[in-house]
Amino acid sequence: MNIAKIFLAYLQLFSAAMFLTLPLYSECHAQTKNTDFRELEAVAAQEIKDTNTPGAAVVIVKGDRIIFAKAFGVSNIETGSPVTTDMLFRIGSLTKPFTAATLVSLAEEGKIKLDAPVADRVKGLSEKLGQVTPHQLLSHTAGLQDGARPYGLHDETGLATTVRTWKDDLLFTDPGKIFSYSNLGYAVAGVTIEEVSGKPFADQLDERLFKPLGMKRATFRPTVAMTYPLAQGHQARGGEKPSVVRPFTDNVADWAAGFMFASADDLARFAIAFMNEGRIDGKQVLQPSVIKKLSAPYADIPGFDIKYGYGLRIENHRGVQIVEHGGAIAGFGAQLRMVPEHQFAIVVLGNKSGARLEKTVERAMEMLLPLKAKTASKPPQPISMSEAEMTSYTGNYVHSSRANIEIVTQNGKLFWKRRDDLFPLVKVGNLRFMIPSPDPNELEEFVLIPDSDGKAEYLHMDGRGYRKR
């Protein structure tokens, strides 16, 4: 088996991104007024076909205006109704920067301290959960397990009542120890917003963000979303015909983590304000300090040269820095990528699970940004390990009662044990490992993180941390 080829295929599964400083709007306008977007439209149309996605909306921002807005395909495979750029989609985890912006704005007004325990403002939490801080929740460093549940309660009081049932065992490690992506953490942030503001979570985001930004259709409430043109979510395996996801996903307990409805036009307005120090349509709608705090690099994502702020990833890509977040929820995919230095942003919303049109995003960046040429990465070679070294890696790494990874040795080799199956592990870098597979979609890679004595303390994979027991 050619490990090098497999690892190269693995690398191609990832997209990159991060941010810089703003050029004058007049410069942005001059650079884009004669842009021919026909090639980009062709790329998007082909990618929709290749990914078996029924429809998508793509909007590009440059300076303080939308310079490209195009809808592709159908919003519902059963009716054939077309997608429009003002049509609502579920945006999954792209919800997180909106939750973060709301909580940070409350902090900027002195209504809560980001570095103080949430128990100071939210009563009825378990003892350990109450000691985490808003900073830790928003930066995914609270030590909380992950958990995303597409179906659950519809009554809006269910957000607070659900979080108050959680016990201390939802923390797999001490707060502040490691970045570990947690939807549960954002649910706690949502309850904190309710308690600090004295208003339902959805109302607070509507008042603080949606209305001031002119995001006219954005909402969390399905009964509001259904009064507007609304894309239906789809799923499809392989080349099979997409089918509508039924029932429509909803779980109020996770609204703050990933259940927002928005259109591509709505999200473009957020991007404009974000990249223009909080101003849009000549009005100051967000404090510049809020934007600065959202995009500050607070946490390292282990294994990658990527940082996490508050609800935003920060990364360097081909010579430019971007801030971004994606979203995936049953039936939908979303992507918002911003390059503030060049006042560029692209929004992609798709109505198939996980659809983000990465090739389309990349081509748009190549057309409108001074990207460096792509460089071929040398695939790492397998690294031999001594028996003592392999033994030091063995153990059970636990994220939750349903998510643990066991590493064992057998016959002088290192394996990942799943139930009764053993999968060989290949060391490809300093504390970096992968499981070879002939299918690049099934490749898995992880890194081990040592303690102060150099012994493996955590395993980190797919954004989540696992503590060695």
User: What is the pLDDT at residue 377?
Assistant: 77
Question: Is 11's pLDDT higher than 90?
Answer: no
- Residues 323, 453 within the same domain: no
Please say which residue of 345, 376, 407 terminates a domain: 376
Residue 6 lies in a domain: no
- Tell me: pLDDT of 17 over 80: no
In this structure, the strands spanning 313-317 and 320-329 are antiparallel
Flag whether 75 is in a domain.
yes
Beta-bridge mates of residue 316: 321
Q: Which residues of 40-70 are buried (b: 16+ CB within 10 A; e: fewer)?
A: beebbeebbeebbbbbbbbbbbbbbebbbbb
Same domain, residue pair 450 and 344: no
The tens digit of pLDDT for each residue in 299-334 reads 999 999 999 999 999 999 999 999 999 999 999 999
**CA–CA dist 416, 409 (Å, integer):** 9
Answer yes or no: do 460 and 334 share one domain.
Answer: no
Q: Evaluate whether residue 10 is within a structural domain.
A: no
Residue 381 lies in a domain: no
Q: Residue 418 — very low, low, confident or very high, per pLDDT cuts 50/70/90?
A: confident
Per the structure, the count of domains in the chain is 2
Mean pLDDT for 347-371 is 97
Q: Can you tell me the distance from the alpha carbon of 269 to that of 283, in angstroms, rounded to the nearest whole number? A: 12
Distance CA 125, CA 123 (A): 6
pLDDT at 380: 78
**341 and 423, same domain (yes or no):** no
pLDDT at 7 over 80: no
Q: Is 80 exceeded by the pLDDT of residue 28?
A: no
Task: State yes or no: pLDDT of 6 exceeds 90.
Answer: no
The rounded distance, in Å, linking the Cα atoms of 274 and 366 is 22
Could you tell me the two tokens for 468?
Answer: 């060695």
Q: What is the CATH number of the domain that holds 76?
A: 3.40.710.10
Report yes or no on 8 lying in a domain.
no
Q: What percent of the chain has pLDDT over 90?
A: 86
Looking at the structure, tell me whether residues 395 and 366 fall in a common domain: no
Same domain, 397 and 341: no
**281 and 416 together in one domain:** no
For residues 392 and 371, membership in a common domain is answered with no
Q: Which of 134, 197, 125, 204 is nearest to 163 (CA)?
A: 125
Whether residue 392 sits in one domain with residue 314: no
Q: In 301-377, at which residue ranges do the beta strands (DSSP E only) sit? A: 306-308, 313-317, 320-329, 332-339, 344-350
- Residue ending a domain, choose from 333, 348, 376: 376
CA angle at 220 for the pair 214 and 222, rounded to the nearest 5°: 115
Amino acid at 179: F
Domain enclosing residue 392, as ranges? 387-468
From 332, 356, 376, the end of a domain falls on 376
User: According to the 3-state scheme, what is the secondary structure of 182-233?
Assistant: CHHHHHHHHHHHHHHHCCCHHHHHHHHHHHHHCCCCCECCHHHHCCCCECCC
d(CA 24, CA 205): 30
* pLDDT tens per residue across span 97-118: 999 999 999 999 999 999 999 9
Give tens-digit pLDDT for 275-301: 999 999 999 999 999 999 999 999 999
Closest CA to 114 of 327, 273, 296: 296
Give 3-state DSSP helix, strand, coil % of the chain, rounded to 5. 30, 25, 40
- Domain membership of residue 286 (yes or no) is yes
301, 428: one domain = no
Of 4 and 456, the one with more pLDDT: 456
Is residue 468 within 8 A of residue 185, CB to CB? The reply is no
182, 216: one domain: yes
- Looking at residue 444, its pLDDT comes to 85
- Using one digit for the tens of pLDDT, what is the confidence trace for 190-243? 999 999 999 999 999 999 999 999 999 999 999 999 999 999 999 998 789 999
Give 189-203 pLDDT, tens digit per residue.
Answer: 999 999 999 999 999
Residues 169, 126: Cα–Cα separation, whole Å: 10
Task: Check whether 48 has a pLDDT greater than 70.
Answer: yes
Q: What is the CATH number of the domain that holds 417?
A: 2.40.128.50
Task: Examine residue 78 and state whether it is found in any structural domain, yes or no.
Answer: yes
Tell me which H or E stretch contains 464: strand 464-468
Q: What is the spatial distance between Cα 5 and Cα 83, in angstroms, rounded to a whole number?
A: 38
Interval 366-385 mean pLDDT: 91
- Radius of gyration for the alpha carbons in the chain, expressed in angstroms and rounded: 22
Neighbour count for residue 230 (Cβ, 10 Å): 20
Residue 71 domain-assigned (yes or no): yes
Q: Are 214 and 332 found together in one domain?
A: yes
